[in-house]
Amino acid sequence: MATTKQIIHGVFGDEVPMIEACKKLRASGIRIKEVYTPMPVHGIDALIGVPRTRLAICAFLYGITGTGLATLMMWYMMVSDWPNDIGGKPTWAYYFAIPAFIPITFEATVFCAAHGMALTYLLRCMLVPGAKAKNPDPRTTDDKFLILLDLKEEQAQKAEAILKENGAEEVNHKGSYVVEPKYILEDAH
């Protein structure tokens, strides 16, 4: 049997009732597709069930890469290819002049970690040049907070009630679409 799914926008004027609504929706087992806010709302990702970011792991890996590249570069330049004797600190071996290498190691680590993180973030969010804004309601860039829901018929009614109870200024139905049964996964949320 084909299922109809509805797209609902719950629009709020303030973050506090929106956060309450998110908690209530999640408590009654409704999946929140996305939340759009005009400013960052701390802790919202955990509330709406977004898994914890793995960006920190990436940052560590990029940082290690930077450390490695810097060490390799300086080892090749200063030790392997053309050893120097600067201020009585010969670079016949890498460990002879380690203090002199530390600033560059540090800078390269920070450089790689920062650039790697920024690029990973942009690519993961598909924020490439020419990307179209995915904002469903332009007012969320000004002063409105929006909860985006994409639900089955029976859940949609429950969600609408919860949104209204918790002070949603508007609940907008943005149409529905039919999903063939083969595309429906058992909803585990």
Give contact residues for another protein (rule: CB under 8 A): 42-43, 56, 86-89, 99-100, 102-103
Strand spans (E) along the chain: 3-12, 34-36, 85-86, 89-90, 145-152, 170-179
In the β-sheet with 170-179, what is the strand arrangement from edge to edge? 34-36, 145-152, 3-12, 170-179
Could you give the CA distance from residue 17 to residue 9 in angstroms, rounded to a whole number? 15
In the bound complex, what is the minimum distance in angstroms from residue 153's beta carbon to another protein? 36
Q: Please check whether residue 161 is in contact with residue 3, taking contact to mean a CB–CB distance below 8 angstroms.
A: no
In the bound complex, what is the minimum distance in angstroms from residue 25's beta carbon to another protein? 20
Name which of 48 and 171 has its Cβ closer to another protein.
Answer: 48
Name which of 42 and 132 has its Cβ closer to another protein.
Answer: 42
Name which of 102 and 179 has its Cβ closer to another protein.
Answer: 102
In the bound complex, what is the minimum distance in angstroms from residue 63's beta carbon to another protein? 11
Name which of 87 and 175 has its Cβ closer to another protein.
Answer: 87
Name which of 41 and 171 has its Cβ closer to another protein.
Answer: 41
SS3 at position 125: coil
In the bound complex, what is the minimum distance in angstroms from residue 97's beta carbon to another protein? 9
Quick one: DSSP state of residue 180? Answer: -
Residue 161 to residues 5, 17, 28, 137, 172, Cα–Cα distance (Å): 17, 14, 12, 21, 13
Gyration radius of the chain's alpha carbons: 26
In the bound complex, what is the minimum distance in angstroms from residue 44's beta carbon to another protein? 11
